Amino acid sequence: MKTFIFSFFIFALVSCSKDANKETNQVDYKNHEPQSFVKAAHYFANSWAKTFWEEFEERQVDKDMKQIKSDGFNTVILVVPWVGFEENFQNKATTSSPEMYRRLGFMLNAIKHNKLNYMLRLGYPHSFTPNAGTTLIDVCTNIYERPQQKEKWIQYLNNIKRTVEEYSSNSVGTLVSWEDFWCPHFVFPGLSELRRKELAKNMGYAQWVMKKDLTLLKVLYGKNNLTIEDIAVPKKDEMSYFYYIEFIDDRFREIILNSTKSIFPDTAMEIRIDKDPVKSSSGEYIWVEHDLYFDEENHKGTYWAPFWGAENKGEKLDVNTALFNFEYFLNYITNNGQATNHIIEQFNFKDNTPGFSHNAILIENQVDEFLLKSTALLKKYSQGYGIWTYHDYADNGLYNSSFELGLKGWKHSNVGIIGDQRDQQIQMQPKGWISQTYNAFNRFLSPNSYKTLQLCINTSKEGEVGVYSNELLVAKINLSLGEKCYPIAAENLTQVENTFKIVAISAVIIDELKLYGFVQKLGLYDEHGKELEHIESIRLMNKTL
């Protein structure tokens, strides 16, 4: 559930993967043997990946680490965004956020204190920080097109290194993911020809491809007098797209992977396991695989879900079919068991992401059986696994909504911060207010599909508030102590631009807010921390592993 989160579009190969070409070049493999099998949980506290670093309450972290350990995990995976830790990308050099790096240090100290290990995924692109000075697409585009962006990347990496150095003995690896820098595959080929030519030159693709066999290039481009000025980033239905795939894989290795390895020697790639379709001269599509890094000595990352290799026509898979598909996948990414040095750090055995209802899923009452029987395959073909959705999470669209960064990101009047660094709240006087403006399509996972949003408010002082969207009153709420959730019609809060506002009718104290339309579910703990149906099977898995 990359979530992100971008992981789901990569399975477009669907049933075609069963016909994948299994031939690979033989190399000398090194199966890394770590001190222990990695059993990992991604940690987002009671938040989600996009808002985690400003949302988690320090007073809760130690308790959460103890729970993770008692569930049998030995490793915590932290997704560390570039934007948010660094701000003001519009400048020559970014501005580091001391508070974000401090909170990273705090988190690693809690992990070490509880005798757990950690793995970092560096460069996650999603952040709601108001001082970004960039956009999601610009962060990705600029790393390929503008050399100075790499200098900002190195600056970020060095800041991370200074923060984590004293905890390095607890690291089981560092990951960089292709899907955090996804735009060359999913944006560039669809741009205008003029822009694609500009990108080809600025990225170095035009110069790179002109070094290939010129006769073949003339055939591919249908031009006798081919020059560098004719080269554009190809569209996905052009035969030359296979060259572009090779180029982007090389550029990612050079710009992202190798530069990160130079600072974090234990870095490996979260590899791209799908294949890209390239149209042949006959009009048929040939599936072109990406580098699976069989000779990588560090722990590389992989990910799996039941729809990998399935027909994906809404079918429900029985346990035997799912295990067969899982082993097929494991043989593919390990070259038939010869290169097992990978961690399936996103073992997504369930998925309810909007828009993917056609994907194959496990039969619900056979999920636990699948989990317990998968342990033998995990032991044989991998060095570990990880859970992305340890706690089910809501796609909260509000920035700094637990106020751990004070009132950053909020406009406000007659509002003050109380509490301490371990847990902060806001105290609102009568007629006091807070507001935040956002683009719903940048904040929520699927705003077009929402009929209702849940507004959850955690308060330690009863009172009454009015909730507004673009100055329109959408709800009056009598707050009860603790966390309570209130349904609000989505239509007034899911526009391109919304100003969400809470006005205190009486004095209130608010600890946390959430405004969401979707909950990502896996079935270990719900979004409120309550145990769910599959946690016992995960505990048994971890004991077996």
Distance, CA of 526 to CA of 66 (rounded, Å): 18
Residue where a domain terminates, one of 346, 361, 394: 394
522 in a structural domain? no
Range of the domain at 422: 411-517
What pLDDT was estimated at residue 35? 57
528 in a structural domain? no
Residue pLDDT tens, the chain, 545 long: 444 433 434 334 333 333 433 333 333 333 334 458 999 999 999 999 999 999 999 999 999 999 999 999 999 999 999 999 999 999 999 999 999 999 999 999 999 999 999 999 999 999 999 999 999 999 999 999 998 999 999 999 999 999 999 999 999 999 999 999 999 999 999 999 999 999 999 999 999 999 999 999 999 988 999 999 999 999 999 999 999 999 999 999 999 999 999 999 999 999 999 888 898 888 899 999 999 999 999 999 999 999 988 999 999 999 999 999 999 999 999 999 999 999 999 999 999 988 888 999 999 999 999 999 999 999 999 999 999 999 999 999 999 999 999 999 999 999 999 999 899 999 999 999 999 999 999 999 999 999 999 999 999 999 999 999 999 999 999 999 999 999 999 998 999 999 999 999 999 999 999 999 999 999 999 999 999 999 999 999 999 99
Q: What is the CATH number of the domain that holds 229?
A: 3.20.20.80
H helix or E strand, kind and range, residue 265:
none
Name residue, tokens 């079919």: 321
535 in a structural domain? no
What pLDDT was estimated at residue 156? 98
Residue where a domain terminates, one of 394, 421, 436: 394
Distance, CA of 87 to CA of 100 (rounded, Å): 11
Describe the crossing of helices 147-164 and 136-145 by its angle, rounded to 10 degrees.
Answer: 110
Phi, psi of 474 (to 5 degrees): -110, -15
Claim to verify: residue 370 and residue 458 sit in the same structural domain: no
Distance, CA of 519 to CA of 316 (rounded, Å): 21
334 in a structural domain? yes
Pairing, β 75-81 against β 117-124: parallel
For the CA atoms of the chain, what is the radius of gyration? 24
119 in a structural domain? yes
Claim to verify: residue 48 and residue 128 sit in the same structural domain: yes
Strands, DSSP E only, in 17-91?
A: 38-42, 75-81, 86-87
545 in a structural domain? no
197 in a structural domain? yes
Claim to verify: residue 431 and residue 381 sit in the same structural domain: no
Claim to verify: residue 359 and residue 466 sit in the same structural domain: no
Claim to verify: residue 170 and residue 242 sit in the same structural domain: yes
Claim to verify: residue 371 and residue 505 sit in the same structural domain: no
For 165, the token pair is 């150095």
Q: What is the CATH number of the domain that holds 500?
A: 2.60.120.260
The identity of residue 412, as a single letter, is: H
The identity of residue 140, as a single letter, is: C
Claim to verify: residue 250 and residue 359 sit in the same structural domain: yes
For 490, the token pair is 């989505």
Claim to verify: residue 384 and residue 424 sit in the same structural domain: no
Claim to verify: residue 360 and residue 447 sit in the same structural domain: no
Claim to verify: residue 384 and residue 506 sit in the same structural domain: no
532 in a structural domain? no
Q: Coil, strand, or helix at residue 344?
A: strand
What pLDDT was estimated at residue 24? 36
Claim to verify: residue 232 and residue 356 sit in the same structural domain: yes
Tally of structural domains, the chain: 2
Pairing, β 452-461 against β 482-489: antiparallel
Claim to verify: residue 436 and residue 334 sit in the same structural domain: no
Q: Coil, strand, or helix at residue 439?
A: coil
pTM for the whole thing?
0.92
Residue where a domain terminates, one of 364, 394, 424: 394
